[in-house]
Amino acid sequence: MTRRQLVASGVAVGALAATAQPALSAPETVTVFRNGRIYTVEDSQPWAQAVAVRGRRIVYVGDDAGAVKFAGPGADVYDLNGRMMLPGFVEAHWHLATVAFARGAWVNYDRTEEIYEALRQYAKSHPDEKIISGFGWIAADFPATGPRKEPLDEIIPDRPVLLISNDFHNYWVNSKFLEMAGIDKNTPRDVVPGSSWFEKDPKTGEPTGFMSEPPALFAALEALEKHGIQPYGLKSAAAAMEEWQPKLAGAGITTFFDAGFVLWPDQQHNGFDILLDLERRGKLLQRVVGSYYYNDAKIDPLPIIRAYKKKYQTALVQANVLKLVADGTELTRTAYYLQPYVGKGDWRGEPLIPPDVFNRVVNAADAEGFDMHVHAVGDAAVRMTLDAYEGAMKANGSRDRRHTLCHAFLTAPEDIPRFKKLGVVANTQIQWGVPDASQLLIREILGEERWSRMYSFKSFMNSGATVSFGADALATGYKVVYKPLEAIQAGHTRQEPGKPDGPLQPPASERLSIAELIRGYTLNGAYQLRKENEIGSIKVGKLADLVVLEQNLFDVAPHDIGKVKVQLTMMDGRITHRDGIEPAAMAKPAGRKRSSRKSG
């Protein structure tokens, strides 16, 4: 069975999704939060003391005195005792299916011996698994040619091993994997010339055990299916996505933009079907706006996203966005730049999708009214994307657009004002803008001058651009970050976590304020998803997406922001996470039972 066929070994997700019902909404009960430091992200009323919720919606924002009338019989009343309340976090760029990769050996370590020990222990405790998979090895800790198969062969010689890198763009395998996948010295190195390949030993021509970019990975996985090996089948992915729901709620996340179910490149509907099943069973604890992920010039994505948008439109799950990939990444030297890479002659990367095809698709999707979300890492890819958006706008006339350009880590200074001018949202992963080993390697790859201009999102905001944030998780530049508070700390300090005396990512003038970071993780993300009238701030009439923190982010020490505990998360009026806080007053009619959920 190929990856282009339904993975029959998985749960019957599609059949379940076909009967999906609207999300389980909160009953028409009342919850009152009082005595708090409530940061609303509303310019007209930035701070409040109390909030009242009836059913799914906020019905009051103001002082404690005004909230008293809502605290009648049957209401849950929480005394926040000075705790901070924020709107629920909007993760405006994530890949929910990637949690399936984290079910194997966890190898997100910066010492190779820790990786090897994790593999030994995992293989020992999982003797019946046909393949040993793992996630998180740090690409920046290895040379550009990647790690080699020999250490893996010593640990696990008789079963295939597949380790996904922390950025999901690189793959480390052993000899058994290569043998079963039919990859040898006679296999062509390039899967996509210049973009995706099987690394070969320059002396012997043998594969080294390193593969780069998804096309190479999926070619190898398709070959493994002939041996009955499917490490990322539907059943495993569905279980992982359900297992992670409480973790994500515990991080204060109430809304996601899913930037592509790349686990199933030819069957991306699988991700939506899993979400619909979770929603039907009341297990989906965040609303999700999803996309169709497009990076293959041979495919016309419009009929696919058209069908997805028609099919997936429930209370919590919508397929509304076309995601395009303009280039690759820095560490693999596949990102597309205006100037060449250091020490690589004239090589400056190239577009992943040929520009004529890219422009044609952008124009056609814009003409049909689709919002687009484009991966663009290098400054040339950023310019190409802005040019394509601008061309489509001129061709198709004015309308309310929410096109997004994602990453934009290096943007030419003259292109920054174009985001505001064109109304393009800049979405980025602010937690990566710290001088860790990954960024220091990027400095070598790009040179000091360009590296010192990266992550200039203060300049974006100063120019009037709308900037939203998303972790791109579980992908990461170095150590995995999926909690918005950890990303907010990084954006505020531009220093590695746990290193308050360490160097700053230059320039220091690009550090963002707490207010800017909160807005980027709430209202700006909601705007990107066309939901700013429903979520993203605490305002009467909006959906009750709320987060209670044990401390006020404006008061806590900058390097402790990521450690602040999320004590309560409410999504759509439902409490999806609670830890260390209980209603202070409950006057309930006889026979009514109060349900709660505690998660970590």
Task: Report which of 305, 296, 530, 262 is spatially closest to residue 403, judged by C-alpha positions.
Answer: 530
Task: Report which of 43, 37, 89, 59 is spatially closest to residue 570, judged by C-alpha positions.
Answer: 89
Buried b (16+ CB within 10 A) or exposed e, 457-480: bbbbbebebbbbbbbbbbbbbbbb
DSSP string covering 432-469? G-S-SHHHHHHHHHH-HHHHTTSS-HHHHHHTT--EEE
Are 468 and 508 contained in the same domain? yes
Are 51 and 153 contained in the same domain? no
> Mind spelling out the 3-state secondary structure of 509-534?
HHCCCHHHHHHHCCHHHHHHCCCCCC
The token pair at 533 is 């009238």
Rounded Cα distance, 218 and 593, in Å: 49
Strand pairing of 207-212 and 170-173? antiparallel
Query: Would you state the pLDDT for residue 596?
Result: 42
Strand pairing of 287-294 and 317-325? parallel
Is residue 12 predicted with pLDDT exceeding 80?
Answer: no
Rounded Cα distance, 273 and 312, in Å: 9
State which H helix or E strand residue 373 sits in: strand 371-376
Lowest mean pLDDT among 68-72, 164-168, 545-549, 581-585: 581-585
Task: List phi, psi (to 5°) of 403.
Answer: -65, 145
Judge contact between 24 and 281, C-beta under 8 A.
no
Is residue 416 predicted with pLDDT exceeding 50?
Answer: yes
The residues that bridge with 106 in the sheet, in sequence order, are 135
Rounded Cα distance, 175 and 156, in Å: 10
| CA dihedral sign of residues 545, 551, 553, 558 | negative
Crossing angle between the packed helical segments 269-280 and 302-311, to the nearest 10 degrees = 10
Rounded Cα distance, 200 and 217, in Å: 15
Are 115 and 186 contained in the same domain? yes
Query: Would you state the pLDDT for residue 27?
Result: 58
The CATH number covering residue 156 comes to: 3.10.310.70
Are 74 and 222 contained in the same domain? no
Are 44 and 142 contained in the same domain? no
Q: Burial level of 87, CB count in 10 A (0-12/13-18/19+)?
A: buried
Percent of the chain with pLDDT strictly greater than 90: 83
322: Cα separation from own chain's centroid = 16
Residue 301 lies in a domain: no
Rounded Cα distance, 194 and 347, in Å: 10
Rounded Cα distance, 71 and 57, in Å: 16
| CA dihedral sign of residues 414, 415, 417, 418 | positive
Are 527 and 547 contained in the same domain? no
Residue 212 lies in a domain: yes
Is residue 14 predicted with pLDDT exceeding 90?
Answer: no
Are 142 and 195 contained in the same domain? yes
Are 483 and 551 contained in the same domain? no
pLDDT tens-place string over residues 389-407:
999 999 999 999 999 999 9
- Give me the domain span that covers residue 120: 95-227
Task: List phi, psi (to 5°) of 321.
Answer: -125, 145
| 370 Rama class: left (phi>0) / alpha (psi -120 to 50) / beta | beta
Residue 39 lies in a domain: yes
pLDDT tens-place string over residues 105-115:
999 998 999 99
Rounded Cα distance, 389 and 96, in Å: 27
pLDDT tens-place string over residues 342-397:
999 999 999 999 999 999 999 999 999 999 999 999 999 999 999 999 999 999 99
Q: At which of 178, 202, 227 does a domain end?
A: 227
pTM recorded for the entire structure:
0.86
Residue 1: pLDDT band (50, 70, 90) is: very low
Summary mean pLDDT of the chain? 92
Q: At which of 227, 255, 286 does a domain end?
A: 227
Residue 577 lies in a domain: yes
Is residue 338 predicted with pLDDT exceeding 70?
Answer: yes
| CA dihedral sign of residues 35, 37, 40, 44 | positive
pLDDT tens-place string over residues 492-536:
999 999 999 999 999 999 999 999 999 999 999 999 999 999 999
The CATH number covering residue 410 comes to: 3.20.20.140
The CATH number covering residue 549 comes to: 2.30.40.10
Are 75 and 100 contained in the same domain? no
Are 81 and 101 contained in the same domain? no
How many residues are recorded in the chain?
600
Rounded Cα distance, 415 and 427, in Å: 15
Rounded Cα distance, 109 and 204, in Å: 30
Q: What is the dihedral of CA 209, 213, 217, 219, to 10 degrees?
A: -110
Percent of the chain with pLDDT strictly greater than 70: 93
Residue range 137-153: average pLDDT? 93
Residue 599 lies in a domain: no
Write the CA distances from 544 to 26, 58, 248, 272, integer angstroms. Answer: 10, 5, 17, 24
Residue range 294-305: average pLDDT? 96
Residue 267 lies in a domain: no
Judge contact between 388 and 360, C-beta under 8 A.
no
Question: DSSP state, 231?
Answer: T
The token pair at 510 is 């690009």
Is residue 9 predicted with pLDDT exceeding 70?
Answer: no
pLDDT tens-place string over residues 206-245:
999 999 988 899 899 999 999 999 888 889 899 999 999 9
Q: At which of 183, 212, 227 does a domain end?
A: 227
Residue 252 lies in a domain: no
Are 449 and 557 contained in the same domain? no
The total number of structural domains in the chain stands at 3
Is residue 588 predicted with pLDDT exceeding 70?
Answer: no
Are 85 and 102 contained in the same domain? no
Residue 141 lies in a domain: yes
Query: Would you state the pLDDT for residue 332?
Result: 83
Residue range 181-188: average pLDDT? 96
Query: Would you state the pLDDT for residue 598?
Result: 42
Secondary structure class of 285 (helix, strand, coil)? coil
Task: List phi, psi (to 5°) of 192.
Answer: -125, 110
